[in-house]
A and B are shown apart, each in its own frame.
Chain A
Amino acid sequence: MAYEFDFSSVTPAAIKVLGDGMLVSLKITAVAIVFGMVWGTLLAMMRLSRQRPLRWFAAGYVNLFRSVPLVMVLLWFFLIVPQLLQKLFGLSPANDLRMTSALVAFALFEAAYYAEIIRAGINSVSRGQLAAAYALGLNYPQAMGMIILPQAFRNMVPLLLTQGIVLFQDTSLVYVSALADFFGRAYSIGERNGRIIELLFVAGSVYFIICFSMSLMVKRYRKKVAT
C-alpha cells in the first residue's frame, strides 16, 4: 500500500510555530556569521603573522575544529558551557542557557572555516599592496584594515556567502540540545501528530527554497563581478 500524504497537521497555528522556529535558526545563523567572521579574521591574521606562537595557536585551533563533527562540538558546549557560565556568574541552574551555548559553539566552530576562507582572501591580495600601504606611512593595523582586508573580503564574498548557506543548514543540528529551531519544531509537530514524514517534507522544502535561491544569488553576483 502506498503511503498517503496528509498535510492536515500543517495548520495556521503550526505555521506560526514554525515561523518562530525559523527566527531562532536565522538568529543563530546571523550571530555565528558575525562572530565567526570577526574571530575568523583574527585567526587568519594570526596564521599569517610572523609570531610563531600566534601562528601555531591559530593553526591548532583551525585544524582542531575542522577535524571534529559539528554535532559533537554542539553537544560538548551544551554540556559544558551552561555549567561553566553558572559557576562563573553564579547563575541559577534554572536559567536556560541552551541558546547561549549553541551560539558560542556555532561562532567558535564557524570561525575555523571562515579563518581559512579569509586567509585565502588575504593571500589573494598582491604583496605589493601591503608594500604600497607601508610606503605611504600606514602602520600594520591601518594597512590591514583599510587596504588588505577590504580587498580580501571583496574577493571572497561568494565563498563567504556559500559558507553562510552551509551554516544555515547546519543550524538544524541544534536539535541535539532540544533547542526549538525551525527543524526541531517541524520535527516535534510531526511527532505529535504522527506525521513526521509530511513535516520533514515541509521543512526540507523550506530549507531547499531558501538555500537554493541564495546560491542562485551568489551565482549571479559571481557573474556580475566576473564581467
Chain B
Amino acid sequence: MITLDNVSKYYGDFKVVSGCSATISKGEVVVVCGPSGSGKSTLIKTINALEPIQEGRIVVDGIQVTDRSTNLPRLRSRVGMVFQHFELFPHLSIADNLVLAQVKVLGRSKDDAHTRGMKYLDRVGLKAHAGKFPGQLSGGQQQRVAIARALAMDPICMLFDEPTSALDPEMVNEVLDVMVELAREGMTMICVTHEMGFARKVAHRVVFMDQGSIVEDRSKEDFFGGGGNHSERSRQFLSKILSH
C-alpha cells in the first residue's frame, strides 16, 4: 500500500535521507527506530509530502506522492499523522479540533463531523472533555485527542512521529494503549518510536535507521530474536536502549 523507492532528501548539501526503500502492506504495523538525527522523522514525513524529496519515488495507495500533478491536500487528508508535540490547534476547542478538517477538507456537514468526532473522542476515553481547550488537558490527553482527530478523517493509514517522546513517563502508557488497540484492529501504521515494548507487542516489522539510511528492515521476531546477524550499529543502539 505504501512504497518508498530509493528516496533521498537533502538539506543543502547534507543528505538527511539516503536511498531508502521499503514497502508497507495493508494492515501492517512498522516501527522505525534509530539514533536521533538518523532521519526517521524526516523519512515518515516524506510519505505525506510534508517533507519534499529530491530523489526517488513514493507511492501511497496507488497515488504518486512525488508527481507534481498530485493533489497533495487530498492525499494528506487520507493519511493520518500524529506529531511529537501533539499540534492540536490551541485556539479551538477539542470538539472543533476534531470537526474542522472533516468539514473543510472532506466536506462533511457540521453535525455529521461532530457525531463522528465524538465517536473517536469517546474511543480514546475523552468524550467528557469535548468543550475544553487543548491547554486545559494533560500531554497524554492531548496526544489522544490528536489521534482521534486523525482517525476522524477515516485515514487509510496512520503515521506516528515519536508520539510519546514529549510526554511525562506516567502518560506514555495511556497513549501506547490507544495505539496498541488501533494496531490490533488492523490499521496500517508506521511509527517512529523508541518504545520497544510497543514494538514487541504489535509490530510486524522493525526498521532500523542510521545516518539517513535504512540499515535493517526485518520481521519483529527476527529483530528481537537475538539472531546473531544484527549489524554492528543496530546492536550498539539496541544494547543502549534495552539495557535498563
Q: Tell me if chain B binds chain A.
A: yes
Interface residues of A (CB under 8 A from B): 126, 128-129, 131-139, 142, 146-147, 150-151, 154
Cα separation A139 to B88 with both chains bound (whole Å): 17
Query: Which residues from chain A contact B45 at a C-beta distance below 8 Å?
Result: 131
For the complex formed, measure the closest distance between the CB of B190 and the CB atoms of chain A, giving whole angstroms.
13
Q: Are B87 and A129 in contact (CB under 8 A)?
A: yes
Cα separation A139 to B100 with both chains bound (whole Å): 13
For the complex formed, measure the closest distance between the CB of A21 and the CB atoms of chain B, giving whole angstroms.
39
For the complex formed, measure the closest distance between the CB of B108 and the CB atoms of chain A, giving whole angstroms.
12
For the complex formed, measure the closest distance between the CB of A79 and the CB atoms of chain B, giving whole angstroms.
44
Query: Which residues from chain B contact A128 at a C-beta distance below 8 Å?
Result: 83, 85, 87
Q: Are B85 and A137 in contact (CB under 8 A)?
A: no
Question: Using an 8 Å CB-CB cutoff, how does the interface string of B100-118 with A read, 1 for contact, 0 for none?
Answer: 1100111000000000000
Query: Which residues from chain A contact B79 at a C-beta distance below 8 Å?
Result: 135
Cα separation A137 to B106 with both chains bound (whole Å): 9
Question: Using an 8 Å CB-CB cutoff, how does the interface string of B66-91 with A read, 1 for contact, 0 for none?
Answer: 00000011101111110101011111
Cα separation A154 to B90 with both chains bound (whole Å): 11
Q: Are B48 and A135 in contact (CB under 8 A)?
A: yes
Query: Which residues from chain A contact B150 at a C-beta distance below 8 Å?
Result: 135-136
Q: Are B73 and A139 in contact (CB under 8 A)?
A: yes
Residues A146 and B100 in contact in the complex (CB < 8 Å), given A132-B89, A138-B105, A139-B73: yes
B50 at the interface (CB under 8 A from A): yes
Q: Are B83 and A136 in contact (CB under 8 A)?
A: no
Cα separation A136 to B88 with both chains bound (whole Å): 11
For the complex formed, measure the closest distance between the CB of B51 and the CB atoms of chain A, giving whole angstroms.
9
For the complex formed, measure the closest distance between the CB of B106 and the CB atoms of chain A, giving whole angstroms.
8
Cα separation A133 to B77 with both chains bound (whole Å): 10
B40 at the interface (CB under 8 A from A): no
B194 at the interface (CB under 8 A from A): no
Query: Which residues from chain A contact B72 at a C-beta distance below 8 Å?
Result: 134
Residues A146 and B104 in contact in the complex (CB < 8 Å), given A129-B89, A136-B76, A136-B149: yes
For the complex formed, measure the closest distance between the CB of B58 and the CB atoms of chain A, giving whole angstroms.
15
User: Top 9 nearest A-B pairs by Cβ distance?
Assistant: A137-B77, A132-B87, A136-B101, A137-B105, A135-B81, A137-B73, A128-B87, A137-B76, A139-B73
Cα separation A132 to B145 with both chains bound (whole Å): 13
B153 at the interface (CB under 8 A from A): yes
Query: Which residues from chain A contact B91 at a C-beta distance below 8 Å?
Result: 150-151, 154
Question: Using an 8 Å CB-CB cutoff, how does the interface string of B41-64 with A read, 1 for contact, 0 for none?
Answer: 000010010100000000000000
Query: Which residues from chain B contact A147 at a C-beta distance below 8 Å?
Result: 89
Cα separation A142 to B83 with both chains bound (whole Å): 20
Query: Which residues from chain B contact A135 at a C-beta distance below 8 Å?
Result: 48, 50, 76, 79-81, 83, 150
Cα separation A129 to B78 with both chains bound (whole Å): 18
Cα separation A147 to B153 with both chains bound (whole Å): 18
For the complex formed, measure the closest distance between the CB of A130 and the CB atoms of chain B, giving whole angstroms.
9
Q: Are A126 and B85 in contact (CB under 8 A)?
A: yes
Cα separation A126 to B84 with both chains bound (whole Å): 13
Q: Are A131 and B87 in contact (CB under 8 A)?
A: yes
For the complex formed, measure the closest distance between the CB of A129 and the CB atoms of chain B, giving whole angstroms.
6
Q: Could you name 15 residue pairs across A and B whose Cβ atoms are closer than 8 Å?
A: A126-B85, A129-B89, A134-B72, A135-B76, A135-B81, A135-B83, A136-B100, A136-B105, A137-B105, A137-B153, A138-B101, A139-B73, A146-B104, A147-B89, A151-B90
